[in-house]
Amino acid sequence: MNLMNAAVRDNFIRSQLQERQRSLSAAIGQYGQTESLVRLLQQVDAALERMNAGRYGLCEVCHDGIESDRLLADPLITLCLDHLTPQQQRSLEEDIELAAKIQRKLLPPHRFSAAGWEIFYHYEPAGSVSGDYCDFISSESGDRNLYILLGDVSGKGIAASMLMAHLHALFRGLISAGTTLENLAQRANRIFCESTISTHYATLVLARADEDGSVIICNSGHPAPLLIHASGLHALDATGLPIGMFCELEYATQKIHLQLGDALLLYTDGLTEARDSSGNEYGEDRLKQLASRVRNLPPQDLVTVCIEDLRSFRGSALVLDDLTVMGVRRSH
Ligand SMILES: [Zn+2]
């Protein structure tokens, strides 16, 4: 998912830089003019000067725009990814490798079953790390049920992967505390809002599947999951805004019921917004047509059919966005 425009970004960064200018001056007043403090203050001053001159965020070498998520993480950088020094390039590669390793460990098993439900998912980052979030949490004690979570964090790369990790920890904690789905979404939204910068948010499907075939679902701004059942197809449209956008939001849920063999197909916009080499979008209609022909497939086959159809549609076009596709079926 892509981030905000440059003007909003620069206003935000300007206030960050001014804040740093103040704390550095205060530190110099307190500890004296150490070389490193003075150098940092010069860099902050120079960044603010570039901003006033309208040159902020442009690479010193090629004069193209520097990647927004990198500027938000470090407002002092002056080189785009293509023009880092060999030393900077090496540290960045090490960071990405570590982030990818952390991310792989946070993913649930690709095939999973609990409380009469079967799940299979396909997770494919566009680069080394993904901003897609996917998890399931089952409770086998007392009421047997299964929480299913699928989301997409704004931005790309390391910053997005760290937000994905944040969501992972947040929901693991909140779900273990036990509450209604509405309340869960509201609290997650508030905490995510308060702990990330305002330009970061996430679309999310949060569902609880019970043993009797009922599913309560909260869709906060995410592409509509498809309910594939005997009498046809039903899209489960969003019932609220993405989480992390506004701190005080209420979330609604909807309740559906699945018969044996019925399935849910969940995905991120890396599927429906994928483009072929002529720029045509894959689109929700094509996905619906495909899904309406495949009722009663086990989740793995359902997901595989979607991925194969996407690949044949996309041909040799570049993959631009992270992709997750998940099939959930009521199996007994
Ligand atoms: Zn450059």
CA of 320 to the centre of ligand 1 (A): 20
| Model confidence pLDDT, tens digit, residues 282-317 | 999 999 999 988 878 899 999 999 999 999 999 988
Buried b (16+ CB within 10 A) or exposed e, 136-170: bbbbeeeebbbbbbbbbbbbbbbbbbbbbbbbbeb
| Model confidence pLDDT, tens digit, residues 20-51 | 999 999 999 988 888 889 999 999 999 999 99
State the pTM of this model: 0.81
Residue 4 scores a pLDDT above 70 = no
CA 50, 55, 60, 65 torsion: positive or negative? Answer: positive
CA of 86 to the centre of ligand 1 (A): 14
| Model confidence pLDDT, tens digit, residues 247-256 | 888 899 999 9
CA of 165 to the centre of ligand 1 (A): 30
CA of 55 to the centre of ligand 1 (A): 14
CA of 88 to the centre of ligand 1 (A): 13
CA of 61 to the centre of ligand 1 (A): 5
Give the burial class of 5: count Cβ atoms within 10 A of its Cβ; 0-12 exposed, 13-18 middle, 19 or more buried.
exposed
CA of 97 to the centre of ligand 1 (A): 22
Q: How far is CA 127 from the centre of its chain?
A: 14
| Model confidence pLDDT, tens digit, residues 153-180 | 987 778 788 888 889 999 999 988 878 9
